[in-house]
Structure 1
């Protein structure tokens, strides 16, 4: 898979690369945050059509997320976020999305740094560039896709443009999943109060009860397969429901650092992630999951994993503008991994990078071997919610509870 990093100029113009003049391109585009089943359906269709027609499969990946850029601008007098500002709401880093795209068989990924100037271009102008520069013969989109200034380029408008010009075709994929869900507007993370995996509060509810709940929480209808829904589920400890949409366990990545080592004193040493974490951290609580050792961190990771924004900015300035990726993340092919009981908590310390309070992620690996993971980059994957964070009457009560957490983790990761 070939990856090209592109940064628009001050006018929002992009120097699109040129592919083989004798081959057309089948293109899709978006932020693809989370790479959930809906995203996978769109990308698989892109690859399928490209192979059918002997064309290139091309994914245009917007990074940072458009929602982050516009949200930041709205709160900061129209200014854009810099590489130092971390999108803590992003489900996955750009690196993780690229890894998944390679697994799906994509030929080319164009990582476009999303800017306000770029967003100001009309969808007609944008599609003209894709047909003229990339040789786009087919555009593949999900049902709710929209692009261009003011998101005016929805599926209906693009279909009319394709029919009128005859230059390209539009292929629309059903990426909605099993119906719609109701999600509270402007929801905040809320730790479950009960032990065990939380359930859908609307499961088994009557129509009247659903209406009352939606009114109380100012909920809006949204497709089941959506990044917003995954984020909402993770923010309420509903790991298994989130994983069902993602198609694999939700994970975060970071570098193991020295912690306060209190767990070591009671026989439960943990691997603690540093403050620079890639991926969306679920709500506070104790979880069952896995810890995956990706090996010693690189020189850049040693200072904390680079955010996706930093990666895009630094790599977009490479002279060639492209990199060959025979294997986006070889370390993930045959990793060392262990079942782990995972604790997440929140510090009172405020982080200027994320604009949120700092989070603490600690993983107790269930193994008889002594693990020395300091300075290693690791992936923490979540398979289920075990319990909320609570205070215990003493160390003995805490140890007894941790033992129960270990046994439940073994069951959930068997």
Structure 2
């Protein structure tokens, strides 16, 4: 997949293209439906398929005082988009000046002149241009004016594949907002259903306070600047992918560990199933790893004394192993 960070990087004559636009935060199942339709339309018509997105996220530009944490980092987003068959990702710089472009100006400069679009694949709720003044009808009018076809992809609503989640939310569409809500509740299983994969973080393993090692449960501590939205405090079962591509079963702790005072919020993963004599030699420090959240096991609570904490950590390991065994058929293998 080609990656462009400005329209000036697009080679002359790169088109004609089929284009879509979006933030693609999380690259969830709804995004996958749009991208897959785009790729199919492009291949059928002999066009290049291009997705347009923005960096930084528009929310950071329009509401700089409000915190915004992407569901996943750009590396993983790009990797997943490439896996859907895209020919190119145009990750365009976003600014207040850029946001002041009228709907027609934006479409003419970006879609038509920049990418040679002959087909545009979008959702019915598309908004674009200054003040989000452009909508589906605007896009269709501009398509007639500039000579591109508009293909509308219906929202991905809940369906039978979502089980109880679908039954409880029969009229809700798959969205990044919903996924954020679920992660804030610690419901990584439901978030995974909407994402189409386990929720993930990626970052460097750094040195911590070594309390886990002292208690017999050494952990890999994720750096504070790791990519990916941190779910609610609690204990989770998951997978850790090291830089060699090996997938390790882990019990993950998210939170400030209320048993100890003065501990800041952190994400740490205990690798399970290694022989005791190999534990000391198992070193992930300095590695960039990918962490997947498979199942929520329990909330974070304070324990009265180390003995009670150690007993609970042993139970957490057993529960995590059982949860991963149940989810093994669902666990993705392409993460790297």
Report the TM range for the smaller structure's normalisation. Answer: 0.7 to 0.9
Pairs within 5 Å for 1:352-363? 359-363=265-269
User: Larger relative contact order (C-alpha < 8 A, sep ≥ 6)?
Assistant: 1
Pairs within 5 Å for 1:18-97? 18-20=11-13, 23-72=15-64, 75=65, 88-97=68-77
Query: 1:223: how far off?
Result: 4.2
Query: 1:162: how far off?
Result: 2.1
Q: Distance in 2 between matches of 1:222 and 1:119?
A: 32
Unaligned runs of 5+ in 1: 7-13, 77-86, 180-198, 206-220, 296-334, 349-356
Can you list the C-alpha shifts for 1:62-86, whole angstroms capped at 9, x where unaligned? 12211222111xx49xxxxxxxxxx
Residue of structure 1 in register with 2:116 after alignment: 135
Q: 1:117 to 1:359 in 2, by over 3 A?
A: farther
Can you list the C-alpha shifts for 1:327-384, whole angstroms capped at 9, x where unaligned? xxxxxxxx11111110011499xxxxxxxx9630110011214321000011111011
| 2:242 alignment partner, SS class | strand
Can you list the C-alpha shifts for 1:200-231, whole angstroms capped at 9, x where unaligned? 7x9769xxxxxxxxxxxxxxx99431111101
Residue of structure 2 in register with 1:174 after alignment: 154
Q: Distance in 1 between matches of 2:173 and 2:57?
A: 20
Residue of structure 2 in register with 1:397 after alignment: 308
Q: Distance in 2 between matches of 1:68 and 1:384?
A: 30
Contact 2:73 2:202 in 1 (8 A): no
Residue of structure 1 in register with 2:139 after alignment: 158
Contact 2:123 2:153 in 1 (8 A): yes
Residue of structure 2 in register with 1:3 after alignment: 3
Residue of structure 2 in register with 1:366 after alignment: 272
Larger fraction in helix? 2
Q: TM-score, normalised by structure 2?
A: 0.86
Contact 2:221 2:266 in 1 (8 A): yes
RMSD of Structure 2 on Structure 1 (CA): 2.5
Can you list the C-alpha shifts for 1:298-337, whole angstroms capped at 9, x where unaligned? xxxxxxxxxxxxxxxxxxxxxxxxxxxxxxxxxxxxx111
Contact 1:254 1:273 in 2 (8 A): yes
Q: 1:121 to 1:16 in 2, by over 3 A?
A: farther
Unaligned runs of 5+ in 2: 326-336
Can you list the C-alpha shifts for 1:110-154, whole angstroms capped at 9, x where unaligned? 111211111110111111121123110011112222111111111
Residue of structure 1 in register with 2:252 after alignment: 342
Query: 1:175: how far off?
Result: 2.8
Residue of structure 1 in register with 2:328 after alignment: none
| 1:137 alignment partner, SS class | strand
Match of 1:144 among 100, 104, 125: 125
Q: 1:88 to 1:359 in 2, by over 3 A?
A: farther
Q: Distance in 1 between matches of 2:257 and 2:137?
A: 47
| 1:147 alignment partner, SS class | coil
- May I ask how many residue pairs the two structures share in their alignment? 311
| 1:161 alignment partner, SS class | helix
The alignment status of 1:251 with 2:200, answered yes or no, reads yes
Match of 1:105 among 85, 89, 95: 85
